[in-house]
């Protein structure tokens, strides 16, 4: 399917804006229908989308069903059930004399939004923000990644058959097409380099922006934890989507005295998961972009660390799952987010050193720790900052519909997932309704001022302040 003609994009934008102004997306029953239609689109075309993901990423059918299509069907249906509750105005507490004014927070849709989606999890990370935009009552333009071209084409074909084209449209293309859309509120998922470019464009239009980025999500392994279970959970999560997942475990920190035990457990897990090796396995996704493949191979070639598992490549699409030991902070593998099937192990001499190692780097999208020690857990909660903190598993936080998902600083800002995506595309609009009967309570605010009025209006100056230590 060809790119959307640039000449058509202003008309698409104007159509959606006109639909929003007319109130097309306002009725809650209409929003519910669109959400359920999104679920029907996926359910009735599950093999179409699974095949597109396989063509783009080599994604196994298991991963397509379990981690993308099924999740989005469930969340679309769940959002349709809950949107009444989410959109309900909230009456806030107030002083006795203010309560008749009905202080209320109204949930207002922000308007027409632009969803710029990535190639690594093209379906889930395209439709997650879209279902939030629908629930909030927004119109939306979806710009799927041109790199995941088969999914983009499938979405462009199927979406208009299920959703109202007056409110939701797909634009295909790359930088030129995206540039034409930059006057809309953004929801961008991707890397920090592109996020900086988009942030500059957003600033020029004073446009609100949500960024879901990535970074180097660390895994801390406490020696007291069952190393066999830790190795399986780390390796299993690392190889989802071939390591091309924003919350993928990027590197492992382990006390130096237990590094070899962890390496041995990872080797055993590798042999169990991929008896013939990961290069020939049909349970692993490939690298989509030749440029990204070249970058990963450059990191591999420049690394000074010892390879203990893997290290081979096949063509420009597949790289073997590769585990490194004795990785030093200055190694090429630690330069930036790996976003691929490499797993560096960084040895440290103490938990203090491990925590400081994490704190000295950008706040990650996720922090993982395998430990049963409540003191270590509490230290990580108190002394580090990350988008999510997960104990004794990896990537499992994505399975929870009602937990917010998002980053901190370089790993992004804003939140998504079900209600949190609804909140992202809603504006909490303050409102009061002051009855005429309140006039006696308000009369003291009018000039001319005098001591009696000052005593009434300035009473809060003299409120008692509780003692504190």
Domain extents in the chain: 6-213+416-427, 217-403
CATH class for the domain made up of 6-213+416-427: alpha beta
Alpha carbons 93 and 231: distance in angstroms, whole number: 50
Mean pLDDT for the chain?
Answer: 92
pLDDT of residue 187: 62
Q: What is the per-residue pLDDT across 4-20, written as a single tens digit (0 to 9) for each?
A: 999 999 899 999 999 99
User: How does residue 105 score in pLDDT terms, banded at 50, 70 and 90?
Assistant: very high
pLDDT of residue 183: 65
Cβ atoms 355, 383 nearer than 8 A = yes
Q: What is the per-residue pLDDT across 288-310, written as a single tens digit (0 to 9) for each?
A: 888 889 999 999 999 999 999 99
Please tell me which residue in 63, 68, 177, 212 is annotated as part of the active site. 212
Q: What is the per-residue pLDDT across 217-237, written as a single tens digit (0 to 9) for each?
A: 999 999 999 999 999 999 999
Span between the terminal Cα atoms of the chain, in Å:
68
User: How does residue 184 score in pLDDT terms, banded at 50, 70 and 90?
Assistant: low
pLDDT of residue 227: 97
Share of the chain above pLDDT 70, in %: 98
User: How does residue 318 score in pLDDT terms, banded at 50, 70 and 90?
Assistant: confident
pLDDT of residue 431: 96
Q: What is the per-residue pLDDT across 122-134, written as a single tens digit (0 to 9) for each?
A: 999 999 999 999 9
Cβ atoms 115, 17 nearer than 8 A = no
Q: What would the mean pLDDT of 252-265 be, rounded to a whole number?
A: 98
Cβ atoms 215, 407 nearer than 8 A = yes
Find, among 382, 386, 391, the residue nearest to 405 by Cα: 386
Beta bridge partners of 343: 323
pLDDT of residue 186: 61
Report the 10 Å Cβ neighbour count for 105: 15
pLDDT of residue 315: 73
- Domain spanning 217-403: CATH superfamily: Aldehyde Dehydrogenase; Chain A, domain 2 (3.40.309.10)
Q: What is the per-residue pLDDT across 138-153, written as a single tens digit (0 to 9) for each?
A: 999 999 999 999 999 9
Fold matches, 6-213+416-427 and 217-403:
no
Q: Is 67 helix (H, G, I), strand (E, B) or coil?
A: helix
Q: Which helix (H) or strand (E) holds 452?
A: helix 451-457
Cβ atoms 420, 134 nearer than 8 A = no
Q: What would the mean pLDDT of 53-69 be, rounded to a whole number?
A: 95
pLDDT of residue 77: 97
Q: What would the mean pLDDT of 274-286 be, rounded to a whole number?
A: 91
pLDDT of residue 176: 86
pLDDT of residue 299: 95
User: How does residue 182 score in pLDDT terms, banded at 50, 70 and 90?
Assistant: confident
User: How does residue 185 score in pLDDT terms, banded at 50, 70 and 90?
Assistant: low
Buried b (16+ CB within 10 A) or exposed e, 242-261: bbbbbbbbbbbbbbeebbeb
255 or 199, greater pLDDT:
255
- Would you say the C-alpha torsion 142, 143, 148, 150 has a positive or negative sign? positive
pLDDT of residue 200: 82
pLDDT of residue 450: 95
pLDDT of residue 332: 97
Q: Where are the beta strands (DSSP E) in 178-321?
A: 185-189, 209-212, 217-221, 249-255, 306-309, 313-314, 318-319
Q: What is the per-residue pLDDT across 376-415, written as a single tens digit (0 to 9) for each?
A: 999 999 999 999 999 999 999 998 888 988 888 888 878 8
Q: Does the structure show a pLDDT above 70 at 180?
A: yes
Please tell me which residue in 246, 353, 437, 451 is annotated as part of the active site. 246
The answer to whether residue 246 is catalytic is yes
* pTM: predicted TM-score of the whole model, two decimal places: 0.89
Peptide bond into 448 cis (omega under 30): yes
């Amino acid at each position: 399917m060809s790119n959307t003609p640039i000449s058509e994009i202003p008309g698409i934008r104007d159509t959606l804006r006109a639909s929003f102004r007319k109130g097309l997306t306002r009725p809650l029953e209409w929003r519910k229908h669109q959400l359920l239609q999104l679920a029907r689109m996926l359910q009735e075309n599950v093999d179409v989308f699974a095949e597109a993901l396989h063509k783009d990423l080599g994604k196994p059918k298991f991963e397509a069903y379990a981690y993308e299509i099924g999740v989005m069907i469930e969340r679309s249906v769940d959002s349709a059930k809950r949107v009444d509750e989410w959109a309900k105005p909230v009456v806030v507490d107030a002083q006795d004399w203010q309560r008749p004014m009905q202080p209320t927070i109204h949930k207002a849709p922000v308007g027409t939004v632009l969803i710029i989606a990535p190639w690594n999890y093209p379906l889930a990370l395209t439709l997650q923000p879209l279902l939030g935009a629908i629930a909030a009552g927004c119109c939306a333009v979806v710009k799927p990644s041109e790199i995941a071209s088969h999914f983009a084409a499938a979405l462009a074909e199927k979406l208009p058959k299920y959703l109202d084209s007056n409110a939701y449209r797909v634009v295909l293309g790359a930088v030129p097409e995206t540039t034409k859309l930059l006057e809309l509120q953004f929801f961008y998922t991707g890397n920090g380099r592109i996020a900086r470019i988009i942030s500059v464009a957003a600033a020029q239009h004073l446009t609100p922006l949500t960024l879901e980025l990535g970074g180097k999500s660390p895994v801390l392994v406490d020696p007291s934890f069952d190393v066999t279970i830790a190795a399986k959970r780390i390796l299993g999560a690392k190889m989802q989507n071939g390591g091309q997942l924003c919350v993928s475990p990027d590197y492992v920190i382990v006390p130096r005295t237990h590094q070899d035990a962890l390496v041995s457990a990872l080797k055993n897990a590798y042999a169990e998961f991929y008896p013939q090796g990961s290069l020939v396995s049909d349970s692993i996704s490939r690298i989509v972009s030749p440029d990204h493949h070249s970058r990963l191979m450059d990191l591999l070639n420049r690394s000074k660390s010892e390879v203990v598992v893997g290290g081979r490549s096949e063509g420009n699409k597949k790289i073997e799952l590769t585990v490194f030991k004795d990785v030093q902070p200055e190694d090429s593998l630690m330069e930036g987010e790996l976003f691929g099937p490499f797993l560096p192990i960084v040895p440290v001499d103490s938990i203090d050193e491990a925590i400081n190692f994490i704190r000295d780097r950008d706040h990650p999208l996720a922090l993982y720790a395998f430990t049963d020690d409540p003191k270590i857990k509490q230290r990580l909660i108190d002394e580090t900052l990350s988008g999510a903190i997960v104990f004794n598993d990896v990537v499992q936080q994505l399975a929870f519909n009602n937990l917010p998902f998002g980053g901190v600083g370089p790993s992004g800002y804003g939140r998504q997932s079900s209600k949190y995506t609804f909140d992202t595309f809603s504006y909490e609009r303050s409102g009061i309704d002051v009855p005429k009967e309140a006039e006696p309570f308000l009369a003291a605010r009018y000039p001319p001022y005098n001591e009696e009025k000052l005593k009434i209006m300035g009473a809060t100056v003299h409120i008692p302040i509780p003692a504190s230590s």
